Homo-oligomer: A and B are copies of this chain.
Amino acid sequence: MRPQDFYTSETSIRFARRLWVKWLRAAAEEILSGAQKAIEEMDESQVETMIQLLLGAKDKKIFVVGMGRSGFVGRAFALRLMNLSFDVYFLGETITPAAGEEDLVIAISGTGMTKLVISAASAAKEIGAKVVAITSYKESQLGQMADQLVLVKGRTKMGWPREEDYLARQILGEREPISPLGSIFENNCMVFLDGLIVELMYRMKKNENDLRSRHATIE
């Protein structure tokens, strides 16, 4: 059977296409099963403590910090917290007030070694704020300094040849690995944090209608 025969029917074209994007499918599969496993393996007491810290910070300020892809995930989480009427900020944006005692910092770093995130977390601790670290490495500098660790698997160690500031890494072109493995921490975090928002929503007895009502925002 020659290739041209093979591609004559709609079915076989569809089959061939399936082959064409097989890497996409394989990667998506790996991402999704990885995320499922990561969520299952999370330590619920860590998550519960993080929830209590968030609920306890209802009248305090919450700061989210992360760089690169962890930063995008962090921003999406911060947006949702704001929708739940938390007083939340993303570090590095123009408008960020100073932190105070008992404020809460959510620091996201797969390796737990991102310098900017570590220095922000350590400034926060100095001032008396609480730090929750979301990382794949308990023993990392970020993991060790945090008041509460939340382990999310997925970040491979291969990481960085050495510790560098984020802007220095941009200059040097040392990027995160781009295999599916390289994204798994951020994907796992996104699923975890989206789920966490739903959990918070139920705990706070909010529902979507409350949140979407404009009257709420005017008063």
Contact = CB atoms under 8 A, between A and B. Distances in A.
Interface in A177-219: 177-180, 182-183, 186-187, 190-192, 194-199, 201-203, 208, 211-212, 214, 216-219
Nearest to A90: B94
A195 B24 contact: yes
Tally of this chain's copies: 4
Nearest to A85: B97
A191 to B, nearest CB: 5
Interface stretch (A1-9, A42-50, A138-146): A42-50
Interface residues of A, number: 102
Nearest to A17: B44
Contact of A191 (B31, B117, B179): B31
A93 B93 contact: yes
A45 B7 CA distance: 14
Interface of A: 14, 17-18, 20-21, 23-28, 31-32, 35-36, 39, 44-45, 47-48, 51, 63, 65, 68-69, 72-73, 75-76, 78-80, 82-84, 88-101, 105, 115-117, 119-120, 122-124, 126-129, 164-175, 177-180, 182-183, 186-187, 190-192, 194-199, 201-203, 208, 211-212, 214, 216-219
A80 B198 contact: no
A212 B171 contact: no
